[in-house]
Structure formats: structure tokens, C-alpha cells
């Protein structure tokens, strides 16, 4: 049974990324499962630190993006909006090239807050980063992807 509110797919989420940090980092939503969302990000000139290894901040941006998308999908978007409240990350191993793939699953989905666990792995499936992101659920129609959010 799906945890999402209404019909969902990766296509509109990718469309929302235009002109944002998400697009700039090359983050792509891949899949919406019944209980998880999956995205990937390239390890390239946009996402590495000067030493040539995946930047921890890029991993955190991927984790928060995925947690926010998951929270967005899990609420009635006509009545609620989600915003990041706290995030932490443990960086486990370096990545120098290829792609990293992130999967967000719920640790807790409440009426006023969500906690999402995001696991990021490399092309070999080895754990690169594990993150936990808390979202506040606010009573406000979601404006993700609309002109209202872009000023």
C-alpha cells in the first residue's frame, strides 16, 4: 500500500527542478515506490570539492531534496506544505566519479512533522552517506513548482 497522497510520479518532480539548485547539481528523480523515493546525482565538476571527491554539502543537498520531495508527496498538497527543519549527515566513504543514488524512506510521518532517512550509495551499491531530515508540515497550500515560489 502506498504512503503517498494522490497520484504521484517522478515526471512532475523533475519538471519542478528547472532553474533551481536541484537542476544545477544535476539531481534527477528516478522512481517513486510505494514507500520510498529514489533519485540520483552525478559526481562531476558541479558536485566535487577541490580535491576531486564528492562534496559533503552536495550529498546533504541531495538528501534534503529527496526528503522534501517525499514529504511533499505524502501530504494533501492543496492543504499542506512541507519545509526543512533539521538535517544531519554522516559521510561514510569518498566517491570520485560516476553517480550516487539516494533512497528516502519514512522514519515517522506525523500530522505536524515528518522524519525521513536518506541513504546514498555509489555505483557499486556501497554506502556513501546516511542522512536524517526532519520536515515541518504547515497548513498552507503547497506552492512547489509554481510561479509563486520563484518570485
Cell matching residue 33: 515506490
Q: Has residue 136 been placed in a domain?
A: yes
The answer to the question of residue 127 being in a domain is: yes
pLDDT (0 to 100) of residue 150: 42
Per the domain annotation, does 23 fall within a domain? Answer: yes
Mean local confidence (pLDDT), 129-148: 85
Percent of the chain with pLDDT over 70: 95
Residue 64 falls in the annotated catalytic set? yes
Mean pLDDT calculated for residue range 5-19 = 89
Q: Whole-prediction pTM value? A: 0.93
The answer on pLDDT for 145 being more than 70 is no
64, 86, 117, 148: which is the annotated catalytic residue? 64
**How high is the pLDDT of residue 9?**
87
Q: What are 53-75's pLDDT values in tens digits?
A: 999 999 999 999 999 999 999 99
CATH number at residue 33: 3.10.129.10
Q: What is the pLDDT of residue 146?
A: 55
Query: Is the pLDDT at 8 greater than 90, yes or no?
Result: no
Q: Choose between 11 and 104: higher pLDDT.
A: 104
Query: Is 1 a domain residue?
Result: no
Residue 3 lies in a domain: no
**Domain encompassing residue 130:** 10-150
- Give strand ranges (E) for the chain: 28-32, 37-42, 80-91, 99-109, 113-121, 127-139
- Averaged confidence pLDDT in the chain: 93
For the chain, the domain total comes to: 1
Residue 4 lies in a domain: no
Residue 116 falls inside a structural domain: yes
Q: Is the pLDDT of residue 148 over 80?
A: no
Distances (CA, A) of 130 to 10, 67, 69: 22, 12, 17
Amino acid at each position: 500500500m502506498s504512503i503517498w497522497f494522490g497520484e504521484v510520479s517522478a515526471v512532475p518532480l523533475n519538471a519542478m527542478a528547472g532553474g533551481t539548485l536541484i537542476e544545477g547539481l544535476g539531481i534527477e528523480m528516478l522512481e517513486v515506490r510505494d514507500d520510498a523515493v529514489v533519485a540520483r546525482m552525478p559526481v562531476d565538476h558541479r558536485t566535487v570539492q577541490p580535491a576531486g571527491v564528492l562534496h559533503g554539502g552536495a550529498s546533504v543537498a541531495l538528501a534534503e531534496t529527496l526528503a522534501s520531495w517525499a514529504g511533499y508527496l505524502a501530504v494533501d498538497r492543496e492543504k499542506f506544505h512541507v519545509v526543512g527543519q533539521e538535517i544531519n549527515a554522516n559521510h561514510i566513504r569518498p566517491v570520485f566519479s560516476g553517480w550516487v543514488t539516494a533512497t528516502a524512506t519514512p522514519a515517522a510521518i506525523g500530522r505536524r512533522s515528518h522524519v525521513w532517512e536518506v541513504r546514498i550509495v555509489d555505483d557499486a551499491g556501497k554506502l556513501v552517506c546516511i542522512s536524517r531530515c526532519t520536515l515541518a508540515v504547515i497548513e498552507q497550500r503547497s506552492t512547489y513548482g509554481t510561479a509563486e515560489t520563484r518570485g
